[in-house]
Chain A
């Protein structure tokens, strides 16, 4: 190698030439270098040598001189195999969870609803609520069979997923299947009426279903189908041969409804007759002395007053029942009060879970005495079984979290990150946590929306629990530092959840931690779901060979002059 000539007007230094070759010089300097190398043989030779050196380096590095090591080639396969174990575990746990959910929640509800005579008019409702799916099978299917069946279903899903290749396709098929089940038979003819006071006049007959909306909805004539109504006041003085499904402040039935009445609103007064069942989400239902209901009453609300006649049972959750009429079936109530007056007649059993025993008039005619159960309001902190159950519940939550984190690692990590957006997560949590069940309730009162409503309820309920797990993971990260991988995150979730659970056990304020964490978590979940539903810029841009970005001042360089 020779002496170092500076850029003294005779030769360019090597650094300048390298930057020229690499297109890193600004335009003016590049022009100078270009002009110089056209004149100077020495610099041109060096420039050419540097270019060749670049090419040699690239060629030497890109050449595939050794194959991919078998350890790396097997890495993917090993990961896939280990995932199969995780899938097996997950489906096993999911099966156990589904069975526990069925026996703990769905079965008792199903029995209660069946006792109340409630049934849907769509296929799904028929299968689930009228027990057509379960009858005859319950004695046959054992826990082991359920586990085996669900595991098989899970493995089948994995098998087909490899062929369909898109989880969303499976979800779509499943959702489509459920929708088909949920959708009721198509209406033969449908009419729509809206305005200030839409009315079916006295001498009018509507053949088919009718949709009505307005401030004051009135049915004075005959509807040979279902009535779907929304309005401030809904009055039925005529004859409806199908169901009445409505939402409004005030519902008055003075006429005849051959089918069911399902409604959400403030007050319902029935002085006419309803052939089948009444389901009401709202404040007050009054069945006047002239009122007659052929089936049952299912109510979630404040007060149910019955002076008229009921063909079957009452299922009630809420404030209290005031009974002075006749019921051919029984009563099942979970509420504050039950008052049975002198004119009351009850043909079936009466189960009442409340704060104080029922007030029963000595003149009332009851088939059997009231079975009263004191509503438990305070937890027994001194009872050791309370702590054992707390440990069991904490373990169950952690297991639930483990399954979710292992099943959806990216989603879970995103949700945990979103919990750190404190304001947005908390605000959205309150909104979704309170709004979703209301929306689900509204969806439930329509036949088509029943499946959607119930699904929304289940999602909301699951999110309520998953939210606590997510907040647990965040607390774990506060205590143990951030985790970049899934399993360390699961470890932090377990630790954090135990801490959260301990906070929820503090008397008087524990519930604040519990519901605060649940809503916060729901907010974080909603944030991630919202982001994922946003349209993504189509990742379909073809990519060519990479060109290094040019500096803003523009660069200059290129081929060696001949």
Chain B
């Protein structure tokens, strides 16, 4: 997993680890857009995403020595970003629980395959992004970790603090929430048009 369009700049990472400010700047230049987008998808507002991006890179300065060079830098960086974003969201946990607590206990309805296909075919990327904004914190975070940064189930379980076996359930519930949001958006759009 790399930030889109970026190959692993291993030499730059090694220099940044050794305290080279220029190398550090290069890393920021290369990875800040991808991390900002990650934060933007995971957090409710643009301002939150900007703050989180800066904080992730500031945190990274202290943590870079813990990075194991045999592993993917992007994967590690996304993990740091995911942990940071989830920490931010957890600080607002009480409110989130009120919003999503009831939904967590509802049984999942089995989708009609053809209706689901139709729904997906008709929706644009922009509509999906708008629908994502309406999801609860955990659902959104899980989807971003899985489908933006391609994190494994183990990593997602670790970041969200749930058992690995529960990650699939979290992702499935998140998809259901997303479908409801997409249907709601469509209904709103139709209402607006009439």
- A-B CB contact pairs (8 Å), 20 listed: A2-B111, A4-B107, A13-B110, A56-B128, A57-B143, A59-B125, A62-B37, A72-B36, A72-B50, A75-B54, A76-B25, A76-B28, A76-B29, A83-B21, A165-B20, A166-B20, A485-B62, A537-B69, A543-B8, A546-B150
Q: When each residue 43-64 of chain B gets 1 if its CB lies under 8 Å from chain A and 0 otherwise, what string results?
A: 0001000100110011101101
Separation in Å of the A243 CB from the closest CB of chain B? 41
A365 within 8 A of B: no
Partner of A60, one of B13, B23, B129: B129
Separation in Å of the A514 CB from the closest CB of chain B? 30
Interface size on B, residues (CB 8 A): 78
Separation in Å of the B176 CB from the closest CB of chain A? 9
What would 13 more interface pairs be, CB under 8 Å, given A54-B147, A57-B128, A75-B54? A1-B111, A4-B108, A15-B169, A18-B175, A45-B114, A60-B125, A61-B143, A62-B37, A71-B50, A76-B25, A76-B28, A410-B65, A539-B69
B154 within 8 A of A: yes
A15-B69 contact, Cβ under 8 Å, with A46-B111, A60-B128, A76-B28: no
Contact between B4 and A1, CB atoms less than 8 A apart: no
Q: Provide the bound-state CA to CA distance between A238 and B17, in Å.
A: 59
Separation in Å of the B70 CB from the closest CB of chain A? 6
Q: Which of B82-90, B93-101, B116-124, B185-193 contacts A (4 or more CB under 8 A)?
A: B116-124
Interface hits, A475-500 → B, CB 8 Å: 484-486
B161 within 8 A of A: no
For A76, the chain B residues whose CB sits under 8 A away are: 25, 28-29, 32
Contact between B152 and A549, CB atoms less than 8 A apart: yes
Which 7 pairs from chain A and chain B are nearest by CB? A546-B1, A60-B128, A45-B113, A548-B152, A46-B113, A539-B10, A60-B125
Q: Provide the bound-state CA to CA distance between A408 and B147, in Å.
A: 38
For B62, the chain A residues whose CB sits under 8 A away are: 413, 484-486
A61-B41 contact, Cβ under 8 Å, with A14-B110, A166-B20, A546-B1: yes
For A411, the chain B residues whose CB sits under 8 A away are: 19
User: Among the interface residues B19, B41, B75, B123, which one has the most CB atoms of the partner chain A within 10 A?
Assistant: B19
Partner of A5, one of B110, B128, B152: B110
A145 within 8 A of B: no
Closest B-chain residue to A75, C-beta based? B54
Q: Provide the bound-state CA to CA distance between A48 and B57, in Å.
A: 39
Closest A-chain residue to B1, C-beta based? A546
A3-B110 contact, Cβ under 8 Å, with A18-B171, A76-B29, A484-B62: yes
For B114, the chain A residues whose CB sits under 8 A away are: 45
A66 within 8 A of B: yes
Partner of A165, one of B2, B22, B72, B107: B22
B112 within 8 A of A: yes
Partner of B19, one of A49, A69, A408, A537: A408
Closest B-chain residue to A548, C-beta based? B152
For A57, the chain B residues whose CB sits under 8 A away are: 128, 143, 147, 178
Q: Provide the bound-state CA to CA distance between A413 and B123, in Å.
A: 50
Contact between A2 and B8, CB atoms less than 8 A apart: no
Partner of A49, one of B8, B117, B168: B117
Partner of A15, one of B4, B153, B172: B172
B137 within 8 A of A: no
Partner of A80, one of B25, B59, B168: B25
Separation in Å of the B170 CB from the closest CB of chain A? 11
B102 within 8 A of A: no
A409 within 8 A of B: yes
Contact between B120 and A167, CB atoms less than 8 A apart: no
B160 within 8 A of A: no
For A54, the chain B residues whose CB sits under 8 A away are: 147
Contact between A4 and B168, CB atoms less than 8 A apart: no
A541 within 8 A of B: yes
Q: When each residue 526-540 of chain A gets 1 if its CB lies under 8 Å from chain B and 0 otherwise, what string results?
A: 000000000011011
For B46, the chain A residues whose CB sits under 8 A away are: 66, 69
For B33, the chain A residues whose CB sits under 8 A away are: 64, 68
Interface hits, A197-255 → B, CB 8 Å: none
Interface hits, A511-562 → B, CB 8 Å: 536-537, 539-543, 545-546, 548-549
Q: Provide the bound-state CA to CA distance between A22 and B152, in Å.
A: 10
Partner of A540, one of B10, B25, B116, B168: B10
A68-B111 contact, Cβ under 8 Å, with A53-B120, A56-B120, A58-B147: no
Q: Provide the bound-state CA to CA distance between A186 and B72, in Å.
A: 51
Contact between A52 and B21, CB atoms less than 8 A apart: no
Closest A-chain residue to B40, C-beta based? A66
Contact between A62 and B128, CB atoms less than 8 A apart: no
A42 within 8 A of B: yes
B163 within 8 A of A: no
Partner of A542, one of B7, B20, B153: B7
Q: Provide the bound-state CA to CA distance between A549 and B152, in Å.
A: 6
